[in-house]
Structure 1
């Protein structure tokens, strides 16, 4: 019995030889077609545009599905990462917000300070230049006596009897002077009496401090009380200590012989003030003596 070889060569089978020949023929033909297409596309880039468009249309659904899958996977990983990093990111954001609030507060304070300084500069543009600009570095608020400390003294030209005012109105007058600080008697002190008048018609009166942050406006002439709520009270210039027409207070309530007024310039809320020469130097010398209330 003759045995058949287990691994016969193609040459022993005519069918195998034909299959091999046809495979080589298809390979050579495909290569030739590819070369022809390559040469055509190099000479004319738009020759197969429609074919490419049709091919892109066929594979577009698959590409869209792949893009959506990538997006979903990216979002999922981002969500997962955000879950683990949320605490640190929230803490960082809260810290940034706190720092931003501090900077906003600082900017608001600087804006307010610039406004006050500009208002003080407006005072210096008047004909009578202030002697000095200074800070109110302290004031009494709980005592019945109302004093304030000024960060300017004799070295800056401050003298006893000089008026002190802010951009809003009269604050008081200098009572005692040191080399670098001064003591100011506020207009709300019980020992302070200022000749004043109503701004609209010049009704004469006296403004006396009540020790509680308000002023009592007593009319110089008794009779019918002409004052009304909201009336502006200014200095009259009488007595020679304060210059005329300096804002003092606004009437808030009426009494039988006058009114109760609220000072326009609150020492507790005032930072910068201007020190002015007395309207009359003789009055400034008399101001160094204790001042008694003026009877209406």
Structure 2
């Protein structure tokens, strides 16, 4: 749902009136497109009269089971320009290959197409921070906006895991040799709670600053773009540490089918997302340490 609302909302914001009338004819009445897809590996777009002939293979289309239309990155042949398209789901071939350990419900399948005509009106510049519709938040741009959902997902998983561990502790407390009755468990639970709350507080601080900047009619700075990526990375790996604490103390509840088992598997998969990769963390360090003070962000890359 996070991916679906991100793709649908940004498509509605960045496409102009022609595409909006086609995809979102009656939003209030529930008549509108739902979009899913992927953008980190662009397909090929050959310019033709009125649009592009698009070919490519894309991965990790979270939310595709609910979508009516496709959201995909494309690179225009000849110019190298990166754009994002919207086209009916019926125009691509879906690959039912989401056979994974965690996040199974996202149905993040692959898909591909060859020489599909997409009108130019149904594409937008991938790096745009100039929305045709919507409020100030859309001046963040597509990639920066995605960090909101991924950060929220991490904190949601972390909060739920600690809440579930608390229920396990209540059920086991007082039984023979209950590990949850030890001082070590109480100390580690407290430490995990502190890590989670601290990471969340810092992320909220970062996003409050960004919100104030956007509300003032300005674009986010390179420092803010760096911090939102760093806050996401920190949130994700902090929650991974919290998950290890939960796994250590939950006992068999961590291996039998149930909420803890499911969220630990989801966490193991979610930490592999490109937005929380070691490369992004390294790029954050390059800018913050002063190694590349004049660089700026293009998607997840720090460009001199």
Confirm or deny a common fold (TM above 0.5): no
Per the normalisation by structure 1, the TM-score is 0.18
| Higher helix proportion (structure 1 or 2) | 2
Q: Which of these two proteins has the greater Rg computed from alpha carbons?
A: 1
